[in-house]
Structure 1
Amino acid sequence: MKCPFCGAAETTVADTRISDDGDIVRRRRRCLKCDKRFTTHERAELRMPQVIKKNGSRVEFDREKLAASLDLALRKRPVSSQAVEAAISRIEEKLLALGEREVASDKLGEMVMRELKKLDKVAYVRFASVYRNFEDVDEFSKVIREVSRSAQPLGR
């Protein structure tokens, strides 16, 4: 690792620690030339698939755009930010598990809808209405009936 102070290539690792969740390795380093210390962080680099939009164009997966979509659907709903973060992480894990270089936006949208359905039924209907481009009240009614059936306890 090159020293950020003097540019020397010779540095040593003085201390290594793994983060609590095990995803990041923190290393304290010392430059052998100028003797200054600095910290580096190491994490696995995972490449998310590109998203193929409905018009055929390809864009990089954007975690922030996904978070903004969820936040919009969940606006003024009683869902914690931790629950939203966990949903985003599950979606990312599923995308990575696909092992594909590209994923259709439809498939990503369905993943989002499944997560929203678990988090909040109202947010699910909001997202579905935009995602599926509802044209009339009947389409809303159909989704609301679907959600109502899935929300009823077993045995009814």
Structure 2
Amino acid sequence: MRCPFCAHDDSQVKDSRPSEDNTSIRRRRQCESCGARFTTFERVQLREITVVKKDEKRESFDRSKIEASVAIACRKRGIAQERLDQLVSGIQRQVETMGEPEVPAQAIGEMVMEGLRQLDSVAYIRFASVYRDFTEARDFEEFASSVRDVGVS
């Protein structure tokens, strides 16, 4: 594993343990060149998934993009990181178990929407505002009223 500090190619694993949600392995490493310590995570990848964007472009599935989107939607909402990790892991599992080598980005977006809807209504609305491309205040009002109608807390 390349050191993020000095870019040396070799590091030594000092400690290895399962993550809190048991979906990855957390490894503490030390660079053999500069001695810096850093953490890596190892996750199971069932198969290579290609995401098909709206404009028909294709790219490899990237869990970190979902993590970043969920983190932005949930910023300052007081939601435990463990719950966010569980949400992202659940979405990743759904995508990988669909059995398809190509998954539309829209399907992943809908999975995120559903997960956030169950987790936190404000995060759900925040994500929806970007995902559904709200352009004016009326869009927020209409969507928020539909969330209230459904009874999401």
Normalized against structure 1, the TM-score is what? 0.67
| Cα contact 2:121–2:152 (8 A) shared by 1 | no
User: What is the CA RMSD across the aligned residues, in angstroms?
Assistant: 2.8
Equivalent position amino acid for 2:68 in 1: A
Give CA-to-partner distance per residue, 1:81-122, whole Å, 9 cap, x none: 011011011101111121000111111101000011111100
* Unpaired stretches in structure 1, ≥5 consecutive residues: 1-17, 25-41
Q: 1:140 to 1:19 in 2, by over 3 A?
A: closer
Q: 1:136 to 1:60 in 2, by over 3 A?
A: same
Alpha-carbon separation, structure 2, partners of 1:123 and 1:82: 16
Equivalent position amino acid for 2:122 in 1: V
How many residue pairs were aligned?
Answer: 120
* SS of equivalent residue, structure 1 residue 90: helix
Q: Partner residue of 1:111?
A: 111
Alpha-carbon separation, structure 2, partners of 1:130 and 1:20: 30
Equivalent position amino acid for 1:81 in 2: Q
Equivalent position amino acid for 1:61 in 2: F
Q: Partner residue of 2:90?
A: 90
| Cα contact 1:48–1:95 (8 A) shared by 2 | no
**Runs (4+) off by over 3 Å:** 18-24, 42-45
Q: Partner residue of 1:64?
A: 64
**Structure 1 residue 151 displacement after superposition:** 2.1
* Percent identity of paired positions between Structure 1 and Structure 2: 39
* Unpaired stretches in structure 2, ≥5 consecutive residues: 1-17, 25-41
| Cα contact 2:51–2:104 (8 A) shared by 1 | yes
